[in-house]
Structure 1
Amino acid sequence: MSKMITLRMPDERVTRIDELVEMESYESRASFIVAAINRFVEEIEEREIDRRIVEGYTRLPQTHEEQRWAEESARRSIAAEPW
């Protein structure tokens, strides 16, 4: 299901959106605005995931053994790359 929303924007912003719709081949102002909102929401969600990861490691830090294992695993992965 979807809902229609109405919003007001300054004329200058609408003009810029129209230019971007044309430049980037969006179907309409609406498709451009939906894409912009989706991108913004994804960025917010990614920041929330990052915050939770930091919170988890702050609450329960890695042990020295886990850190050593992670570093060794990273070295092996890098060494295996066909640079």
Structure 2
Amino acid sequence: MSKQIAVRLSDELVAFVDRVVESGDERSRAAVVTRALERERRRLAAARDAEILARAGGDPELAGLAEYAARVPLDLD
């Protein structure tokens, strides 16, 4: 299910969104906004996870996995 909402954006942001759509990278303004919000949601979750890990300290059993993961390129889309 989805809901339609109205959002007020600056002329500069609207022009950017329109350029992304015109370039063919996304099919609609809604798709651009959705992708940006999904990325922000993942970023916030990762920041929370990093904060929890920093408070709890490292797990020696997972050190090798962390070293491997640090070298793997991220696919953010």
TM over 0.5: yes
Name the SS of the counterpart of 1:27 in structure 2.
Answer: coil
Aligned runs of 1:15-30 on 2, under 5 Å? 15-30=15-30
Instruction: Give the total of aligned pairs.
Output: 65
Tell me, in whole angstroms, the C-alpha distance in 2 between the residues paired with 1:52 and 1:36.
24
- CA-based RMSD of the aligned residues comes to 2.6
| RCO comparison, higher one (Cα < 8 Å, 6+) | 2
For normalisation by structure 1, the TM-score amounts to 0.63
The alignment-based identity, stated in percent, is 27
Q: Name structure 2 gaps, 5 residues minimum.
A: 66-77
Superposition misfits of 4+ residues, deviation over 4 angstroms: none
Mind listing any 5+ residue stretches in structure 1 that lack a counterpart? 75-83
TM-score under structure 2 normalisation?
0.68
Supply the distance in 2 between the matched residues of 1:41 and 1:27 (Cα, whole angstroms): 21
Shift in CA distance, 49/18, structure 1 to aligned 2, threshold 3 Å:
same
Partner deviation per Cα, 1:5-62 (whole Å, 9 max, x = no partner): 11111222211110122235201000010000000110010010011111111xxx76
Query: Aligned ranges for residues 1-83 of structure 1 at < 5 Å?
Result: 1-57=1-57
Higher helix share: 1
